[in-house]
Chains A and B, each alone.
Chain A
Amino acid sequence: MWRLALRNLTRNRWRTLLTAGGVAVAVFLLTWTNGLMGAMEAAMVRGATSVETGQVQVHHPDWVERPGLYDHFERSDDLLARLDAVDGVAGVSARIHVYGLVGNEDTSQVASITGVDPAREAEATLAAESVIEGRWLSDTPADLPGPREAVLGVRLAELLDAEVGDSLVLFVNAADGSLGNDALTIVGLARTGSAAVDRAGVYMHYDDAAWASALEGRAHDLTIAVADLAQVDVVADRVAAAVAEWDAAQDEPLGLVVRSWDEILPELAQMLDMSRGSIWLTYLIIFAIAALGLINTQRMGALERRREFGVLLSIGMRPWRLGSLVLAETVVVAGLGAILGGIAGGGANLWYARNGFDMAAFASSDVDFSVMGIAFTETIAFPWAWDDVLVPMLAVLAMAALCGLVPARYAVRLNAVSAVAGRS
């Protein structure tokens, strides 16, 4: 019967090709949309977590309630070593966060100062990689006396009208109540994709920031990068176990809190859930268009072949078998389209997975802006997943089977005598 269906389809090749082409376009679009959504989702998570929060973080319990200058804990080499050894951890950075003013005699801006171990930060976040001008912080602080090294968010530097090499003054509200001050020299400018960091962020060496803010030996967070984003929950559990063990051994355990990115940024997790939900609307629209086209052509074909169906019934073909034949034809044409669309879509996704997709295609002009953590100047790579291709193909086949029922039902209910006679 399948062979018969195929032979019938070759009788009107143009129609078959056009119908299959329509289905192929639908499958291609769905596959490509899947890839793009996956890429944007990954870009959002990466954009939101790769600079500020990492994928897992350790905090003082009070910080979780409401971040504050005094919610710090010991920056322990022992704890850092334990976390380095956790399976699946790609990097651990102990950081302090203080607010202050940076500027000069003419102008000043409120800045969010992050004190980091430059080498560790480079392993745990993309801060070092996001330097677009100048360089990242040296591994060891600059010699004293002399200005301290600082990497500024690119927008902050614009607001201060400062560039690499310029000197700035720093005032910070220190944890002992004093007003810490120091001289900074800008060694690099960072474009992180995070509006908050680009607009107000200042990276300094941990020792320098800790001195200015009277937080020597303390940390506000441990920021952890996981090797595989999909494994984040498993790694977070292992980190939590290691932190709990260390914490319990302290004189005064603080009950340090370990959270993964979806707990640190619940609004991002919710938004991703929503966007995953909304993709079904896209599916529905593309399906509806493809389905209407499919039903139309297959039913037209069945109507044209009334006499042929009548003859087949007259020579003894059972109605259900005729119906099955018509249904098989629809499934075969859709299958052909699905394969073509799958190959094209899968190929496109593979290509974009290797070469990346330039988000500037969505921007009307050469402007620098970002939406939900994705800068529209960046090139994002599609993630490669068989599901992205197979799900649309199978879904289209299922849809085709449903659509095929319409002409099949027509064939089954056909009266052989009147069909052969050409009467309706």
Chain B
Amino acid sequence: MAGSPNHRMRIARVALAAAVVTIAGSGVAIADEPEGSGAVVPTEIDPNNPPPLPDVDAVMDWFDDLYRADSSHSELSMHIVTENWERTLELEQWTRGEDEALIVIRAPAREAGTATLRNDDGLWNYAPRADSLMRVPSGLMGDGWMGSHFTNDDLMRETEYDDDYTTTLAWDVVDGELQLVATSIPTERAAVVYTQVVFRMRASDWMPLRAEYYDGDELVRTMTFSDLRDLGDRTVPMRMTLQPMDAPDERTEITYESLEFDARVDRSLFTHSGLRRAAQRGR
């Protein structure tokens, strides 16, 4: 295991960002091509003879760029499978900067117009039938968002991971394929949910494959990235599957149907009146 342990751990943040931010976070964006980061990205790698590990900073910078966008606008579906029910939500999402996000449920009809707003003031749910917002109290941060396996805390916490984790890099061979593994552990003072986050990337181009979240020694959930799609000038995983380990038959799967980076997103959208406008449109 190599790397610089006392780093601000951005990979952990990105791992969670990919998992979480995709539904409410700072936006998912493939920025410039990886070579823009200055990292040396190998193209053909022999698993038995791995090259020297890349620099942690380089990987982190690459990830910073990979997921950075000033704004985004996307349409996605969220398929939730639990022991008791299975359903699919059609969502529309806008993000701006790192702190502002708005998600509106468009379907099914029963829930259409229900929305969640995240801004500097906190987290809000919008009840279309009441045409009213309600602040999500801190006591409910551990509850699932709209019945999914993502928690409200997932929505709120991601930007705080910056200072909370320290990361090391290593190579790992899985099914004959070489993977770059970033292991993040929280700094001593950090009040975090997970005691370790392991992020697996494709060795050739550092594309995300899987994130593993640990509580103590126990793997509690995994996030699998799939359906890499070339969106013209960038490639991005279009599907993310969150799998809670204590319920093997349950999962939440997010699939992007459209994804626009650096879209024109008005700041006023992330206010209570902007939320109302966005939520009521299409009803």
Q: Which chain A residues have a beta carbon within 8 Å of chain B's beta carbons?
A: 70, 101, 103-110, 145, 147, 167-171, 173, 175-179, 181-184, 214
Contacting pair B134 A101 (CB below 8 A): yes
Q: Across the interface, which residues of B come within 8 angstroms of A168, CB to CB?
A: 130
In the complex the two chains form, what is the Cα distance from A214 to B133 in whole Å? 21
Interface of A is mostly: strand
B140 within 8 A of A: yes
**Contact A177–B131 (Cβ < 8 Å):** no
Measured CB to CB, the nearest residue on chain A to B82 is: A177
Out of B84, B134, B135, name the residue touching A177 (CB < 8 Å). B84
Asked if B127 contacts A177 (CB within 8 A), the reply is no
Give B109 Cβ to nearest chain A Cβ, in Å: 11
- Asked if B85 contacts A175 (CB within 8 A), the reply is yes
- Known pairs A104-B134, A171-B134; A177 contacts B129 (CB<8 A): no
Across the two chains, which residue of chain B brings its CB closest to A105?
B133
Apart from A179-B111, A182-B127, what are 18 other A-B pairs with CB-CB below 8 Å? A101-B136, A105-B132, A105-B135, A110-B139, A167-B132, A169-B127, A169-B132, A169-B134, A171-B125, A173-B143, A176-B87, A177-B80, A177-B87, A178-B111, A181-B125, A182-B129, A183-B130, A214-B110
Cβ of B244 < 8 Å from any Cβ of A? no
Tell me which residues across on chain B come within 8 A of A147, comparing CB atoms.
Answer: 130
The answer to whether A181 touches B129 (Cβ under 8 A) is: yes
Could you list 19 examples of A-B contacts with CB < 8 Å? Answer: A105-B132, A105-B134, A106-B135, A108-B134, A108-B136, A109-B137, A110-B137, A110-B140, A147-B130, A170-B127, A171-B125, A173-B143, A177-B85, A178-B110, A178-B111, A179-B147, A182-B130, A183-B129, A183-B132
Chain B 18-35 per-residue mask, 1 if CB under 8 angstroms from chain A, else 0: 000000000000000000
Check if B146 sits within 8 Å of A178, measured CB to CB. yes
Cα of A253 to Cα of B127 in the assembled complex, Å? 38
Whole-angstrom distance between the alpha carbons of A103 and B132 in the complex?
10
A179 touches B84 (CB 8 A): no
- A179 near B85 (CB under 8 angstroms)? no
- Is B7 close to A, CB under 8 A? no
Query: Contact check: which of B124, B128, B137, B272 meets A181 at CB < 8 Å?
Result: B128
Closest to B108 in A: A178
Bitwise, B110-131 to A at CB < 8 A (1) or not (0) is 1100100000000011011111
B271: min CB distance to chain A, Å: 12
- For A102, the closest partner residue in chain B by CB is B134
Give min CB distance, B149 to chain A, whole Å.
11
Docked Cα-Cα span, A167 to B147, in Å, equals: 26
Chain A: minimal CB distance from B136 (Å): 8
Whether the Cβ atoms of B135 and A108 lie closer than 8 Å is yes
Q: State in angstroms the CA–CA spacing of A358 and B130 once bound together.
A: 44
**Residue numbers in A under 8 Å from B87 (CB-CB):** 176-178
Give the interface centre of B82, B85, B114, B129 by most chain A CB atoms within 10 Å. B129
The answer to whether B134 touches A103 (Cβ under 8 A) is yes
B147 in contact with A181 (CB, 8 Å) = no
